Amino acid sequence: MANSIETGSGPGLAPGGVAGRVLVVDDDPTVSEVVAGYLERAGFAVHRAEDGPAALEAAARHRPDLVVLDLMLPGMDGLEVCRRLRASRPRASGSRARTLPVVMLTARGEEEDRILGLEVGADDYVTKPFSPRELVLRVMSVLRRVSSTVPETEPELAAGGLSVDPAARRATKDGAELALTLREFDLLVYFLRHSGQVCDRERLMRDVWGWDFGDLSTVTVHVRRLRAKIEGDPADPQLIRTVWGAGYRFEGRPGPSGPPGAARRTEAGDGRA
CATH assignment at residue 112: 3.40.50.2300
> What pLDDT does residue 83 have?
85
Are the C-beta atoms of 197 and 218 separated by less than 8 Å? no
- Among 118, 147, 176, identify where a domain stops: 147
Q: What is the pLDDT of residues 134-184, one digit of tens each?
A: 899 889 888 887 776 555 566 789 998 999 998 888 899 999 999 888 788
* pTM given for the model: 0.64
Taking 70 as the pLDDT cut, the residues of the chain under it are 1-18, 89-98, 108-111, 113-114, 148-154, 212-214, 253-273
> What pLDDT does residue 44 have?
95
Give dist(CA 235, CA 224) in Å, integer. 9
Give dist(CA 167, CA 172) in Å, integer. 14
179, 108: one domain: no
Domain-located, residue 15: no
Q: Is 21 helix (H, G, I), strand (E, B) or coil?
A: strand
Task: Determine whether 191 is exposed, middle or buried from the number of CB atoms within 10 Å of its CB (0-12, 13-18, 19+).
Answer: buried
Domain-located, residue 85: yes
- Among 120, 147, 174, identify where a domain stops: 147
> What pLDDT does residue 270 have?
42
206, 233: one domain: yes
> What pLDDT does residue 95 have?
36
Report the domain count for the chain: 2
- Among 147, 180, 213, identify where a domain stops: 147
111, 171: one domain: no
| Domain, as residue range, for 263 | 157-270
CATH assignment at residue 211: 1.10.10.10
> What pLDDT does residue 210 have?
76
> What pLDDT does residue 29 have?
93
Nearest to 263 by CA among 169, 166, 73, 231: 231
